[in-house]
Structure 1
């Protein structure tokens, strides 16, 4: 039996007339955990609009809506009932969150400070728009005891997340393209010391070249942390970040495991330097192959030059040199570049050198911007590598499913392949 009560930690509920909106199991949850959205007190078969709205750390407003018909008892359960229209159609328990779109086009959801939870307002409306009930969901990025410390020393500009407890913990270097704290903070919740250092950060490397030494410096800083017990580090990367991650694995000792999401097998956009020497040339985009769209964003998928062409061989990353474990993830609907083809080429290269230190996963229908689950999916935004707004691709339902599966896969992969030695930890102390 449903009874009105004050919002509580064990499931929030708010009354407007006789309509009750519930978020289960709690109005507070971790960002990467699902919730169950239910409504009661409606008229039998009443049609209502369900809405969700949030504002990210950059002030960008995201929202979604879906139409539902109550059952004979006047109830709606997003885990059971299909959306009849709106931002998505069909049974999507977390559809209101994942289908959110920015009110300003071509904006990506950004969490630039993980200390503050993401606040999402859910509401129920009559077809005419009148508000019937609303409830706020606080989605936490840091569990109790996880610490966040900005790091700004030498060539390192990033944020260090450390789990509670004595450790020792395995270490992960997170390489997002731009500053974002959702992935590293959520990974720290799982028992990893994580240093996140964006490829494009405020220290602003010369846009004409990239220096691997800066990221080696970040690796060394991470390994020296008192709670870190792993011999080497793991690397978490996607897109241009994967360029750097793969190059670290190939040229710098100490990378034990690397996750490469939608990676290219060659170094793109800017030449790569190490110890003041160029080690990889750059694979470039042919702007004449950019395809404009009515939205104002472009499609660049077929514009990147062929990395296997003779003139581009100097950009290929010699991943066979790496003494590491690889997890390659690629998608079918990547509009940034052909990540599946590049993944296949890297597998061929490793096999040619007698290597079996890799595993792959492929997601039909998903797009380039795979993130931890339950954030608004980003179909288009500014691409810092080409300096233009681009389409990233991804069919929403397939993309959501891919993010849920991959996030669990990443955690299992790092737990399997990152060693953690308590005696090494004691030696540091």
Structure 2
């Protein structure tokens, strides 16, 4: 490596996962062309990497907030492009970062453009999923299996239930980031975690009622917890569960629905051992193969408004809390934008205006906290094969930044912090 070339990560090399970092290079020759590279390994050992070509200014400096990439994984001025454009070495792999205590470690390096691409300088960015002072507590109480995150300080802090993943394990990423932003957050699994069954044939709303009650009683143990009700955040299949929780149970003040469905999908939904919604099933014979080896699942879903499917539609007009609906217009998993339109029409038909909507063109299914690698395709657990998720990387990355800020603002506005006792509506 060159002793005079330096990579700087500002304001510091250690930051939160959802924070941008300014990348600067100094000590190059005037107008020197170099390749910037980034590499990282996820929890499953998959290598992700990206690269971009830059030209130094007259002083031998490069600033990714100012200078455009000339070629590579992306082009143009993209300050965080090296992060969101990372791709896996193996096709159809999604970036797995589920454990909150392990930072996302990213190596930035600068290489000569000519010759063998000799490395000139390197820097390491530690991107934390959990802020200093946030407490993490595994939960195994009653039927609940999950992890509770509590922010530092006196509070009071509003409480959240994160339905990030409901099978195949437990993801702590979004919950720990929410706690780092001031929310007491419980992330739960529904099956496939700890001593839970590996597979299920039905879902019980009672489980989520128990989780809400667990959150509400935390003020007995942690004075900084002070929610009147709770917030719910979801993604994909858990979107319809979030709608059902808000529609059938009490104490839900604010719900974020991201690329979900407006009908109860796959599994029948039960409460107090009684079925309240049948499960809407898709026709996997209608998935469309692509040259990449991944499949498009969007057209395997039936017409939700057909008479035979109307019983699966969730009665969101019963909800008393606020909704934030977020839809990706290029979602190839299912038609999230159409489902959002159905939700809006239903609420308006019942005289309700307790919702906000956001819709993003050229954006795919997995809208997550920002600055992680874009995922165009990966294995679909229910489909049993790789599926396309849709979206254009640059536009999708920008949508994640905008969505995350909007979600935080939404919960800060609509979650209150004084406890009351209520009963379920069912």
Instruction: Please state how far the C-alpha of 1:199 moved relative to its aligned partner.
Output: 4.5
TM-score of the pair, normalised by structure 1: 0.92
Q: How does 1:8-407 map to 2 (within 5 A)?
A: 16-127=2-113, 128-177=116-165, 179-202=170-193, 203-204=196-197, 206-226=199-219, 227-407=224-404
Instruction: Please state how far the C-alpha of 1:45 moved relative to its aligned partner.
Output: 2.1
Instruction: Please state how far the C-alpha of 1:205 moved relative to its aligned partner.
Output: 6.3
Instruction: Please state how far the C-alpha of 1:59 moved relative to its aligned partner.
Output: 2.0
**Whole-angstrom distance in 2 between the partners of 1:151 and 1:303:** 37
Q: Figure out how many residues of one structure are paired with residues of the other and give that number.
A: 410
Answer with 351-360 or 386-395: which moved more: 386-395
2:424 corresponding residue in structure 1: none
CA-atom RMSD, angstroms?
1.6
**Whole-angstrom distance in 1 between the partners of 2:20 and 2:345:** 38
Contact 1:199–1:240 (Cα < 8 Å) also in 2: no
Unmatched runs of 5 consecutive residues or more in structure 1: 1-14
121 and 296 in structure 1: CA distance in 2 versus 1, 3 angstrom threshold: same
95 and 200 in structure 1: CA distance in 2 versus 1, 3 angstrom threshold: farther
Contact 2:254–2:414 (Cα < 8 Å) also in 1: yes
Unmatched runs of 5 consecutive residues or more in structure 2: 422-426
Partner SS, residue 225 of structure 1: helix
**Whole-angstrom distance in 2 between the partners of 1:151 and 1:57:** 22
Instruction: Please state how far the C-alpha of 1:295 moved relative to its aligned partner.
Output: 2.1
Structure 1 residue ranges, 4+ long, deviating more than 4 angstroms after superposition:
none
Contact 1:369–1:392 (Cα < 8 Å) also in 2: yes
196 and 417 in structure 1: CA distance in 2 versus 1, 3 angstrom threshold: same
Answer with 177-186 or 332-341: which moved more: 177-186
Contact 1:331–1:366 (Cα < 8 Å) also in 2: yes
201 and 310 in structure 1: CA distance in 2 versus 1, 3 angstrom threshold: same
